[in-house]
Amino acid sequence: DQQVKQNSPSLSVQEGRISILNCDYTNSMFDYFLWYKKYPAEGPTFLISISSIKDKNEDGRFTVFLNKSAKHLSLHIVPSQPGDSAVYFCAASDGSARQLTFGSGTQLTVLP
Amino acid sequence: EPEVTQTPSHQVTQMGQEVILRCVPISNHLYFYWYRQILGQKVEFLVSFYNNEISEKSEIFDDQFSVERPDGSNFTLKIRSTKLEDSAMYFCASSYLRGGSDEQYFGPGTRLTVT
């Protein structure tokens, strides 16, 4: 079951630069998308979400872009900080089912 | 800031034993969830709970699993007879609104080790 895919298991960027994390989905019923950050031995922490009626949502340093035709979303972090180093999960749900379907995660390392 | 709490942080049990994992969701939230993550795998949905009943469950959530909200604050996951393959991190989550625009907030997890 690969309904939500994060094809890059890891990403390294320099402090102050932009981090771009990508996510693809196959289920056209998904209409709500979320990004979570996870540190070791902690639960996922909600970062930002986007509804399928939008193509962009911004919150401080975090921006999520949604391309419905390509079934693709991305998370931009600008500027990246060392404290952003964590595993980032993309998740999706459809309006009728509350369960979240997660991607496999991308380990982001921000180098000082 | 309100947060979801879970106890214990680590539970070791023998195969065939019953375990109960406990969660205290955020107090004004109405929807409650259990997810699990087997080491090296994705976070997987188990069950959602609303208005004192299960609203959705996955194929993983078989007859060995049950959930309960025994009082106004706790939300529990019981595994009746644990198997080796139940070893995983179990995450509780809660959310306020049903529909497409709410977010689920996760607890820190319980690491279950079945020996």
Contact B100 A98 (CB under 8 A): no
State percent of chain A over pLDDT 70. Answer: 96
Residue A40: partners with Cβ closer than 8 Å, 6 or more residues away? none
The overall average pLDDT reported for chain B is 92
Query: A-chain residues within 8 Å CB-CB of B56?
Result: 97-99
Name which of B55, B91, B106 is nearest A98 (Cβ-Cβ): B55
Pick from A86, A91, A67: which is nearest to A19 by CA?
A: A86
pLDDT in tens, A43-90: 999 999 999 999 999 999 999 999 999 999 999 999 999 999 999 999
pLDDT confidence bin for A94, thresholds 50/70/90: confident
pLDDT, position A17: 98
For residue B8, cis peptide bond before it (omega within 30 degrees of 0): yes
- Hey, of A25, A31, A98, which one would you mutate to test binding to chain B, going by the most B CBs within 10 A of its CB? A98
The overall average pLDDT reported for chain A is 94
